Amino acid sequence: MNKPLWRPKQESIASAQVTQFARLVESHQPKLELNNYSSLYDWSVANPEDFWRELWDFCDVKSQRKSTQVLVDGDKMPGAKWFPEARLNFAENLLQLQDDSLAIISLLENGQRTTLTYRELYRRVAQLAGSLRLQGISAGDRVAGFMPNIPETIIAMLATTSIGAIWSSCSPDFGSQATIDRFDQIKPKVLIAVDGYFYNGKSHDCLQRLAEITQKIDSIEKTIVVSVVSENPDIANIPSAEHYCDFLSETSHIDFAQLPFDHPIYIMYSSGTTGKPKCIVHGAGGTLLQHLKEHRLAVDLKKSDVFFYFTTCGWMMWNWLVSGLASGATLVLYDGSPFAKKGLLLLDTIDSEGITIFGTSAKYIAAIEAADIKPKQSHNLSSLRTILSTGSPLSHESFEYVYRDFKNDVCLSSISGGTDIISCFVLGSPILPVYVGEIQCRGLAMAVEFWDDDGNPLKTGKGELVCVKPFVCMPVGFWNDHDGEKYHSAYFEKYPNIWHQGDYGEITENGGVIIHGRSDTVLNPGGVRIGTAEIYRQVENMPDVLESIAIGQERDGDVRVVLFVVLREGITLDDELKKQIKTRIRKNTTPRHVPEKIIQVSDIPRTLSGKIVELAVRNVVHGKPVKNTDSLANPEALALYKNLKELS
């Protein structure tokens, strides 16, 4: 067993909310002994009804009526139903505080800073909710947001869900067609959009795209335009448009609609790289309880915390961040490039705003390491308690970098889940040690296992991530999937009555988890399954390599591993560098991982949320069409992989 990079102090373990929760459960069930995370996890998985009932009370969920029955048809996936008699409102639980403590600190790349107290946030939500009601919006209607990560986006979501309407958002860097592909499926009545946004030192106008979007989605009855880059944008070309400030009512009270536990609040979207994005519907109660569980018990989020996550409104981490309001924390929003001020802006923000929980991507951590930034030398960081990382697996080198050059007394929690569950299957814990390359633990009440292709659970070794019992944040379903066929096909086709996430990984001897990549991008040379993340970990920490992408190319009845690399400016892929790459991979993994071909490219295609798209590259290499290039941030990069002589 390897030595941990970090261990929590005993006093921190004793005061953590997850420890307090365990003591509360023991007081209700005196025969229980929940002395560590492992015992608490085992109990939560074996007794999900007790767990969620206890969590509801521990987090003081506000509801009109709590269900005495927690779970119906608990042996069915899909089909299980949680808290069938409960009535609550999602927004009401995020707006329980109405005092002068800070709810939101908002920062734009151009330096603009605004704040909102919980009292001010409630008032502004009331104003917009009143206007939406006057517009005719009621429970079940859809309100869409074409918005950056600013306070008005949170206000719009809370106003929408307070009525019982359903919120769905894209960030304004989405192209017109990508936005239409998403919103036209759900037929929103109201679109709340921005005139523009700041990114990478420039302002970007959205009004032309906004006109095109509203003209092509005939369900939109009203478009509300928020001014960010100009004081009085010209909205004459946008049908039925009104300025945000003119649309607001004088209402000061919110009439929170009390609705069933699984009443829809969010429609999220799959990446859409293989066709039109799937519209994933999430319910109020499941989302609320799961986020409360993860925030309070896995992150130890408290009212005194200042909580930041770098995200756009097209990524589920925005929804996850916003739920921090239910814990009374102060949210720090940032909209702009994470690499502004040569990568120092976000680090400056930790000190200037007193951030205690800092969420980012594995890519950001790798990038600032590559830029030779050493935050512990340049910044104070005394407020920082936890670093969260997601988006892709965090490399061993990035773990070591954080403790060597970022801050050595910090809980580094890599987390992994997805849009599918709007939360995590595996994540961190304030009471567990951190081991290099490992996610700390499986989430409470998430019966996560790794299975082989025949459906046998694996105690050791790599397999498919599955969840063998129902959990509260399973989607309500897919939009316009009336017979549930698409929903069933997405998660339950491979293993009947078992949730199949599509991630490839393993449980470690420490009880942690390693995710090796997506199952559909696993390489299979000679019948041996290899996760792409295992290759990326080795390659992207080489000084000359900025990024890489690996695929399996079908050839002579087998599959050969092909690696594409983006190199530093001025570096050319010669035989010596190829040899270094292959030697490093062979030394630290296995001979099967070594790519047969290594090819230099100038760019790697990625989704609008920043994830690289192995499937799209694989299709191009094999001469197959990529069905939905509008879902890509840089579709022009696909041409770099077409008809390559090296692969013929």
| Mean pLDDT to the nearest integer, 289-300 | 98
What is the number of other CB atoms lying within 10 angstroms of the CB of residue 569? 5
| Mean pLDDT to the nearest integer, 229-241 | 93
For residue 569, the enclosing domain spans 522-647
State pLDDT tens for residues 413-448: 999 999 999 999 999 999 999 999 999 999 999 999
Task: Say what the pLDDT of residue 273 is.
Answer: 60
| pLDDT classification of 631: cutoffs 50, 70, 90 | confident
State pLDDT tens for residues 131-147: 999 999 999 999 999 99
Task: Say what the pLDDT of residue 249 is.
Answer: 96
CA-nearest of 286, 330, 272 to 118 is: 330
CA separation for the pair 264, 90 (Å, rounded): 10
Question: What's the structural domain count of the chain?
Answer: 1
| Mean pLDDT to the nearest integer, 181-205 | 96
| Mean pLDDT to the nearest integer, 457-478 | 96
| pTM score | 0.90
User: Which residue type, as a one-letter code, is found at position 57?
Assistant: D
Task: Say what the pLDDT of residue 228 is.
Answer: 96
Q: What is the maximal distance between C-alpha atoms in the chain?
A: 71
Q: Is the pLDDT of residue 274 over 90?
A: no
Is residue 534, in this structure, part of any structural domain at all?
A: yes
The string of DSSP letters for 118-179 reads HHHHHHHHHHHHHHHHHTT--TT-EEEEE--SSHHHHHHHHHHHHHT-EEEEE-TTS-HHHH
| Mean pLDDT to the nearest integer, 58-65 | 95
| Mean pLDDT to the nearest integer, 527-546 | 85
| Mean pLDDT to the nearest integer, 440-464 | 95
Q: Is the pLDDT of residue 272 over 70?
A: no
Is residue 375, in this structure, part of any structural domain at all?
A: no
Q: Is the pLDDT of residue 528 over 80?
A: no
| pLDDT classification of 556: cutoffs 50, 70, 90 | confident
Give the chain's mean pLDDT: 94
| Mean pLDDT to the nearest integer, 2-24 | 96
Is residue 490, in this structure, part of any structural domain at all?
A: no
CA-nearest of 36, 31, 260 to 139 is: 260
CA separation for the pair 458, 528 (Å, rounded): 16
Is residue 560, in this structure, part of any structural domain at all?
A: yes
Is residue 623, in this structure, part of any structural domain at all?
A: yes
Task: Say what the pLDDT of residue 526 is.
Answer: 75
- 504 vs 526, more confident: 504
Task: Say what the pLDDT of residue 275 is.
Answer: 67
Is residue 341, in this structure, part of any structural domain at all?
A: no
Is residue 606, in this structure, part of any structural domain at all?
A: yes
Is residue 423, in this structure, part of any structural domain at all?
A: no
> Tell me, what CATH number does 537's domain have?
3.30.300.30
The pLDDT > 90 percentage for the chain reads 84
Cα angle, residue 40 at apex, residues 466 and 517 outer, rounded to 5°: 30
Q: Is the pLDDT of residue 15 over 80?
A: yes
CA separation for the pair 486, 363 (Å, rounded): 32
